[in-house]
Structure 1
Amino acid sequence: MTDKEKYRKFSETEKTIPIFSKGWWMDAVCGDQWDVILIEENGQILASLPYYFEEHDGLKEIRKAPLTQNNGIWIHYPQNQKYENKLSLEHRLMDLVIDKIEALNVYKYQQYFHYSIQNHLPFFWRGYTQTTRYTYVIEDTSKVDELVKNFSSSIRNTVRKATKTVMVEEDLDIEQFYNLNKLTYERQNLSIPYSFDLVSRIDEACKMRNARKIYYCLDDEKHIHSAAYFVWDDESVYYLMAASDPMYRSSQSLSLLIYEGIKLANRLGKKFDFEGSMKKNIEKHFRQFGAKQFAYHHIQKTFNGGDS
């Protein structure tokens, strides 16, 4: 059994591996352009690092996969471990992972780690650079009424206004969603950065595992104002994609759909992860839902001509 096959099987059952690092997610997003580094001892996987790669002019680059918030290292932590022992374990396993990265003979490495990985010192010591990025997370979604109290008054008013204008429906056709999603980019004079084929593959993989929901808003005349695509793993619901028709921006219905996503997390007993944004206006919008800011690492290194 190859490491990739072993990892596919392992990630199906290991609940602490985020959805974006699951083998099936990597298959859907990356096709054949992914692999995994495993650190095993006594038949147990202690660390893993799935990665997406591209080749340019015969040189291989490890980089962020499309529509994939984070990727990178996962570590198995023993229960009731002392903090000093945890750091020692991280340093040892990260060093072993870095050895394997550098044996791949890549010319560039960059990944976004999940926010649960706070320590990046072994990478720093080996010449990797780190940039801090942020996501926003509602950790406890168990009491919806309390969550709404934590919304800013502006968001509460926006949601209230939207409920008078539109209705929330679910399971929009994936092609309709994609076409609406394209309008969001076109409004900003941008091309959509991913293909319908990619979105369709993600949708099929998530549907097979009952790990996605599409909510959308429409008015009395059946005009679709906006749509939101949510996915989830064992711990969190993620706000993966949003789509809106510029003609109906005034209804501000996306805020209502985010609220629906938070209620979905409540029903599933999970956290809600906004996936974050470094754009000022988007960050402000997410923050107003009462979410907590979490830092995560963008780790990268460029090697000389691909020689590690």
Structure 2
Amino acid sequence: MIHYVKRKDLDTEKYNYCIENSLQSRVYAFSWYLDVVADHWDVLVLEEYKAVMPIPWKKKYGIKYVTQPYFCQQLGVFSIDTISKNQQEIFLKHIPKKYLKVTLSLNSKNILISNNLNRLNYFLKIPEDYKQLYKNFSKGRKHAIKVGEKEALEVKNTTANNLLRIHKKHYNFTIPEDKLIKLVKIANTKKAVMVKGVFKAGVLLGGAIFIVSNTRIIYLFSVFTEEGRKFQASSFLISIMLKGKENIGKILDFEGGNLENIGRFYRSFGAKEEHYSVFKRTFL
């Protein structure tokens, strides 16, 4: 039996246990993460938290609708045991009709939905032997990394605020900065974040925010100055992450790849693709 549970009534311990131990586990679905990135969220719960599906929602002009939060690529059904296609469809049918419009990204371990939008993501398992991994890099990516090495780039810890200053100056689109800063702050208390900067002679050229779980390192947010792009700072940063002994055995999740040029960049590291569905429904 599937129940709709409001956030305030949620058994957070049981819910997070299900997310942590689910076959589809993703950091996006933990309660502490959704509390930051979602305006509101409730949960569909199967029996005693054997499976759950978080429902992030907003309200505008009196209309409630389900929508994917910023900084949250994949949600969907999370289950301790294998979920069949039929069970997954039952979860989706249980999304209340009070939500007149639904746009919800499932996770790559959920069954793909036919006649719905399917998206691409790229990932790379980090092995013990970086040299073996390096062999699979494209010729262009190897050259880019050598440019960074020749320019004596360094990767060091930095702050979200430093990266956001670069974003304001060098990018022409806005993001919910307050949510990103809060997310980094909360994730830091969970030891679930790394904020890395790429420096040349002490000058910050850009960097990235990585969200960390037991199994994945998510390339959540990155920015680079024009000089950083010139000196291939992004390629250099990713190569350093792939070399890190503390990252061995984890999956580097590039969190994207639908745009061809972005997908080509990730593939140049030997990254593999995975697909996930975006479930859509409307009564408007």
| TM-score normalised per structure 1 | 0.82
Against the structure 1 CA distance between its residues 248 and 98, is the aligned structure 2 distance closer, same or farther, given a 3 Å change threshold?
closer
* Unmatched tracts of structure 1, length 5 or more: 78-85
Q: 1:294 corresponds to which letter in structure 2?
A: E
Q: Is the alpha carbon distance of 1:51 and 1:171 closer, same or farther for their aligned partners in structure 2, counting shifts above 3 Å?
A: farther
CA contact (8 A) 1:171 1:214 kept: yes
The match for 1:277 is 257
Contact 1:169 1:217 in 2 (8 A): yes
Selected match of 1:37 from 44, 50, 61: 44
**How far apart are residue 11 of structure 1 and its match?**
4.5
Checking the alignment, whether the CA contact within 8 Å between 1:15 and 1:234 is kept in structure 2 is: no
Q: How much does 1:228 deviate?
A: 1.3
DSSP-derived class of the 2:239 partner = helix
Select which of 270, 275, 278 maps to 1:290: 270
Judge conservation of contact 2:15–2:49 (CA < 8 Å) in 1. Answer: no
Q: State the shift of 1:160 in Å.
A: 1.3
In the TM superposition, residue 168 of structure 1 has moved relative to its aligned partner by: 2.3
Per-residue CA distance 1:10-64 (angstroms, 9 max, x = gap): 3443233200111110012125x11111111xxx322211122111211111011
**CA RMSD across the alignment:** 2.1
How far has the Cα of 1:133 moved from its partner?
0.8
Number of aligned residue pairs: 275
Matched, 1:27 2:7: no
2:102 matches 1:94: no
Say whether residues 1:112 and 2:105 are aligned partners: yes
Q: Deviations over 1:193-225 (max 9, x none)?
A: 222x111111011101111111211112x2211
Contact 1:49–1:73 (CA under 8 A) maintained in structure 2 = yes
Query: For the residues of structure 2 that align with 1:106 and 1:202, how far apart are their CA atoms?
Result: 26
Identity score, percent:
20
How far does the alpha carbon of each residue in 1:161-206 deviate from its partner, in whole angstroms, 9 at most, with x for none? 1022143233212211111233442xxxx322222x1111110111
Contact kept in structure 2, 1:144 and 1:263, CA below 8 Å:
yes
State the secondary structure of the residue aligned to 1:107: strand
- What secondary structure does 1:115 align onto? coil
Q: Aligned AA for 1:217?
A: V
On the 8 A contact 2:166/2:225 being kept in 1, the answer is yes
Aligned to 2:21: 15
2:209 aligns with 229
- Aligned pairs for 1:114-133 (under 5 A) are 114-120=107-113, 129-133=115-119
| Displacement after TM superposition at 1:139 (Å) | 2.9
Correspondent of 2:130 among 144, 168, 182: 144
Q: Could you tell me whether the CA contact under 8 Å between 1:165 and 1:219 is conserved in 2?
A: yes
Residue 213 of structure 1: aligned partner? 194
Conserved? CA contact 2:126–2:242, under 8 Å? no
- Aligned partners of 1:228 and 1:258 also within 8 Å: no
Structure 2 segments unaligned to the other structure (5+ residues): none
Aligned-pair distance for 1:67?
1.1
> Once the two structures are superposed, what CA deviation does each residue of 1:112-164 show, in whole Å capped at 9, x if it has no partner?
111111343xxx6xxxx511111111135332121111111111111111022
**Higher helix content, 1 or 2:** 1
Work out whether residues 265 and 272 of structure 1, in 8 Å CA contact, stay in contact via their aligned partners in 2. Answer: no
Deviations 1:55-79 (A, max 9, x none): 12111110110011111221221xx
Deviation of 1:7 after TM superposition, in Å, equals 5.0
Q: In structure 1, how many angstroms separate the alpha carbons of the residues matched to 2:252 and 2:245? A: 6
Structure 1 residue 155 corresponds to structure 2 residue 141: yes
Measure the CA separation in 2 of the matches of 1:71 and 1:265. Answer: 29
CA contact (8 A) 2:120 2:273 kept: yes
- Runs of 4+ aligned residues of structure 1 deviating over 4 Å after TM superposition are none
Structure 1 residues 248 and 119: alpha-carbon distance in aligned structure 2, compared to 1, 3 A threshold: closer
